[in-house]
């Protein structure tokens, strides 16, 4: 049955609750499509959309049962590049972290970073989910990928 926004209009506000978020722990992720770049005055954000393929043994089974189906749960890996020329060290750190993620964790190849990013689609990696409270509203918690590693053979 299709979901429609108009269905929400008949609900009482007290009946609307936050859904469970992806439980803390390690998952196998896959890059789902090409990266995007969002430019702001202070930062360039490079985002790789990813999805969950499976949960590892360190994810609590009761939390998984409460969350429901984890397969295909979307997430993202994001790198922030400062645009201020005085932040060159920070820029180089971001550049190195992106290289490490592509080369070591996704194990993709390419003659340039752009080629490596293009080759990242469908690559898999281990990602660690942490629960992070919103800075403006600590009652809102997000499930974020806070660490990555290559898949173990």
> How many folded domains does the chain comprise?
1
β partners of residue 97 = none
Q: Reduce the DSSP state of residue 55 to 3 states and report it.
A: strand
Q: What pLDDT is stored for residue 3 in this prediction?
A: 84
Residue 137: what are its φ and ψ, rounded to 5°? -145, 90
Report how far residue 73's alpha carbon sits from residue 120's, in angstroms, rounded to the nearest whole number: 18
In a domain, 52, yes or no: yes
State the pLDDT confidence band at 153, using cuts at 50, 70 and 90.
low
pLDDT at 127: 98
- Please count the residues of the chain: 153
Two structure tokens written together for 66? 């409460």
Structure tokens at 51: 């999805």
Residue 30 resides in a domain: yes
pLDDT per position as a tens digit, 69-125: 999 999 999 999 999 999 999 999 999 999 999 999 999 999 999 999 999 999 999
Residue 56 domain-assigned? yes
pLDDT in tens, 25-78: 999 999 999 999 999 999 999 999 999 999 999 999 999 999 999 999 999 999
**pLDDT range class, residue 152, cuts 50, 70, 90:** confident
Task: For tokens 């994810």, name the residue.
Answer: 59
Tell me, what's the pLDDT at 135? 95
d(CA 144, CA 131): 6
State whether residue 93 is helix, strand or coil: helix
Domain of 28, in residue numbers = 21-149
Instruction: Flag whether 11 is in a domain.
Output: no
pTM of the entire predicted model: 0.90
Query: Whole-angstrom Cα distance, residue 139 to residue 144?
Result: 16
């Amino acid at each position: 049955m299709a979901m429609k926004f108009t269905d929400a209009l008949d609900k009482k506000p007290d009946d609307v609750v936050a859904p469970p978020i992806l439980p803390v722990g390690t998952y196998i992720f896959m890059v789902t499509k090409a990266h995007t770049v969002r430019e702001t005055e202070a930062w360039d954000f490079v985002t790789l959309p990813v999805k969950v393929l499976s949960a590892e043994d360190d994810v609590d089974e009761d939390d998984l049962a409460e969350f429901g189906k984890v397969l295909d749960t979307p997430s993202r890996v994001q790198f922030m590049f400062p645009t201020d020329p005085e932040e060159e060290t920070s820029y180089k750190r971001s550049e190195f972290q992106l290289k490490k993620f592509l080369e070591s964790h996704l194990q993709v190849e390419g003659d340039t970073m752009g080629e490596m990013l293009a080759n990242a689609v469908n690559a898999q990696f281990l990602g660690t989910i942490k629960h992070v409270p919103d800075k403006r509203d600590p009652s809102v918690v997000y499930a974020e990928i806070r660490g990555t590693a290559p898949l173990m053979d």
